Structure 1
Amino acid sequence: MSLAEEFYKENIQRCLRQTKDLNYKVKIIGWSRLFVVILGVLTDYILYSQNKLNLILISTIFFIGIFIVLIFYHNNIIQYREKINTIMKINEKGIKRLSGDFTSFEDSGSEYLDYKHPFVDDLDVFGNNSIFQYINDTVTKGGREELVKLLKNEGNLNKLDIAERQEAVKELSSKAVWRQNLVLEGSLKKSKDIDLDNLINWSEGTESSSPLRIVIACTFILVTIFSIYLAIVKVIPQSFLLLNLMVNFIVVKVLSKSMGTEIKLFESIKNSIYGYSKILFLIEEENFDSQYLKNLQGKLKSDKLSCKEEMKAFSDILDWIGNSSYNAYYLLFNILLFSDVFLLRSLEKWREKNGNKLKGWLEVMHKIDALVSVCNLPFENENWTYPVILDKNEITAVNIGHPLLGEKAVENTFSMTGNQKVSLITGSNMSGKSTFLRTLGTNLVLSYIGAPVHADKFSCGIMKIYTCMRTKDNLEENISSFYAEILRIKILIEACKRGESVFFLLDEIFKGTNSRDRHTGASVLIKQLIKYGGVGLVSTHDFELCDLENESEEIINYNFREFYENNKIKFDYILREGRSTTQNAIHLMKLAGIEV
Structure 2
Amino acid sequence: MEQDIINNYMQAAALAKQEADKYKGLANYYSLLRLGVFALMIYVIYLTIAQDNFTIMAVGFVVLLAGFAWLVARQGEYERQRDYYLDLEKINLNEINSLQSNTNLYNNGQRYSNEKHFYSSDLDIFGNASLFQLINRAATSAGNDKLAAWLNAPADKPTVLSRQEAFKEVAANNDWKVNTQTKLLFATKEDTDQMKRLFIYLGIPLELSGEKWLSPYIKIAPYLLLATILAGIFLHPVFVFIAVAIAFFNTLILLAKGSFILKGGAIADKIGSVLANYAIVFKAIENQQWQSKRCTELNEKLRVNQTSKNIEELSKLINKLSYSLIMIVGFILNVFFLWALKQILLIEKWKRNNQHNFEEAFDVIAEFEALMSIAVPSINYPDWTTPIIADTKGYTVIAKNIAHPLIRGKRVDNDYNLQDAYNIDIITGSNMAGKSTFLRTIGINTVLALAGSKVCASAMEVSVITIVSYMRIKDSLNESTSTFKAELDRLQMLLAAVENEYRVFFLIDEMLRGTNSMDKYLGSKAVIEQLISKKGVGMVATHDLQIARLEDKYPNYVRNYYFDIQVIDGEMLFDYKIKHGECKTFNASLLLKRIGINVGEE
Do both share a fold (TM > 0.5)? yes
Contact 1:130–1:404, Cα closer than 8 Å, also in 2: yes
Pair 1:344 & 2:344 matched: yes
**Separation in structure 2 between the aligned mates of residue 499 and residue 179 of structure 1, nearest angstrom:** 36
One-letter code aligned to 1:378: S
Which of the residues 527, 530, 538 maps onto 1:528? Answer: 530
What is the match of residue 278 of structure 1?
280
Aligned partners of 2:302 and 2:361 also within 8 Å: yes
CA distance in 2, matches of 1:335, 1:141: 40
For each residue in 1:169-222, what CA deviation from the matched residue of structure 2 results, as whole angstroms up to 9, or x when unmatched?
111111111112222222247742155555445555466533244366568656
Mean Cα displacement is larger for which, 556-565 or 421-430? 556-565
Q: Residues 150-161 of structure 1: matches in 2 within 5 Å?
A: 150-153=150-153, 157-161=155-159
Q: Is the 8 A contact 1:203 1:356 kept in 2?
A: no
Structure 2 partner of 1:443: 445
> What's 2:588 paired with?
585
Amino acid in structure 2 at the alignment position of 1:13: A
DSSP 3-state at the match of 1:414: strand
Which residue in 1 is equivalent to 2:381?
381
TM-score, with length taken from structure 1: 0.90
The 1:476/1:188 distance shift into structure 2, 3 A limit, reads closer
Match of 2:192? 193
User: What amino acid is aligned across from residue 377 of structure 2 in structure 1?
Assistant: L
1:352, CA displacement in angstroms?
2.5
What CA deviation, in whole Å up to 9, does each residue of 1:354-404 have, x standing for no partner? 222223322222211211121112111101001111123121111101111
SS in 1 for 2:549: helix
In the alignment, does 2:294 pair up with 1:295? no
Q: Secondary structure at the match of 2:321?
A: coil
Change (3 A) 1:327 1:372: farther
Aligned equivalents of 1:108, 1:149: Cα separation in 2: 14
When residues 6 and 205 of structure 1 are mapped into structure 2, their CA distance, relative to the original with a 3 A threshold, is: same
Larger deviation, residues 519-528 vs 19-28 = 19-28
- Structure 1, gaps ≥5 residues long: none
Deviations 1:54-89 (A, max 9, x none): 435434443443333222222211111000001111
Aligned pairs for 1:311-322 (under 5 A) are: 311-322=311-322
- Of 574, 578, 590 in structure 2, the residue corresponding to residue 575 of structure 1 is 578
Structure 1 residues 223 and 52, CA gap change in structure 2 (3 angstroms): closer
> Does residue 1:8 correspond to 2:6, yes or no?
no
Change (3 A) 1:175 1:416: same
- Aligned-residue offset at 1:335: 4.4
In the alignment, what sits opposite 1:470? 472
User: Which whole-Å CA distance do the structure 1 matches of 2:271 and 2:224 have between them?
Assistant: 34
- CA-CA distance at 1:117 after TM superposition: 1.0
1:30 match: 31
Aligned 1:227-238 pairs, distance under 5 A: 228-229=229-230, 232=233, 235=237
Cα separation, partners in 2 of 1:46 and 1:178, compared to 1, 3 Å: same
Structure 1 residues 176-185 or 436-445, which shifts more? 176-185
Q: How many residue pairs were aligned?
A: 591
SS of 2:164's partner is helix
Aligned identity (percent) is: 27
What secondary structure sits across from 1:166 in the alignment? helix
- Which amino acid letter does the alignment assign opposite residue 505 of structure 1? L
Distance 1:244 1:513 in 2: 87
The more displaced of 586-595 and 122-131 is 586-595
Moved more, 359-368 or 265-274: 265-274
Corresponding position of 1:163: 161
In 2 relative to 1, CA 405–278 (structure 1 residues): closer, same or farther, beyond 3 Å?
A: same
What's 1:367 paired with?
Answer: 367
Q: Partners of 2:221 and 2:315 in 1: how far apart?
A: 28
Query: What is aligned with 1:483?
Result: 485
Task: Provide the C-alpha distance between the structure 2 equivalents of 1:542 and 1:469, rounded to a whole number of angstroms.
Answer: 16
For residue 512 of structure 1, what is the aligned residue in structure 2? 514
Q: TM-score, normalised by structure 2?
A: 0.89
Distance in structure 2 (CA, Å) of the matches to 1:317 and 1:37: 31
What is the deviation of 1:590? 2.5
Do the aligned partners of residues 223 and 329 (structure 1) sit closer, same or farther apart at CA in structure 2, a change above 3 Å counting? same
Stretch moving more, 419-428 or 123-132: 419-428
The 8 Å contact of residues 160 and 451 in structure 2, kept in 1 or not, is answered as yes
| Structure 2: stretches of 5+ with no match in the other structure | none
Go from structure 1 to structure 2 and tell me whether the alpha carbon gap of 1:556 and 1:356 turns closer, same or farther (over 3 Å shift). Answer: same
Change (3 A) 1:188 1:330: farther
Inter-partner Cα distance in structure 2 for 1:282 and 1:556 = 53
Separation of aligned partners in 2, 1:237 and 1:583: 104
Counterpart amino acid of residue 348 in structure 2:
E
> How much does 1:343 deviate?
1.5
Give the distance between the partners of 1:30 and 1:259, measured in 2 at CA.
Answer: 36
8 Å contact kept, 1:509–1:540 = yes
Q: How does 1:161-240 map to 2 (within 5 A)?
A: 161-188=159-186, 191-195=190-194, 197-205=196-204, 208-210=207-209, 211=211, 212-214=213-215, 224-225=225-226, 228-229=229-230, 232=233, 235=237
Q: Mean Cα displacement is larger for which, 215-224 or 333-342?
A: 215-224
| Cα distance in structure 2, aligned partners of 1:549 and 1:531 | 15
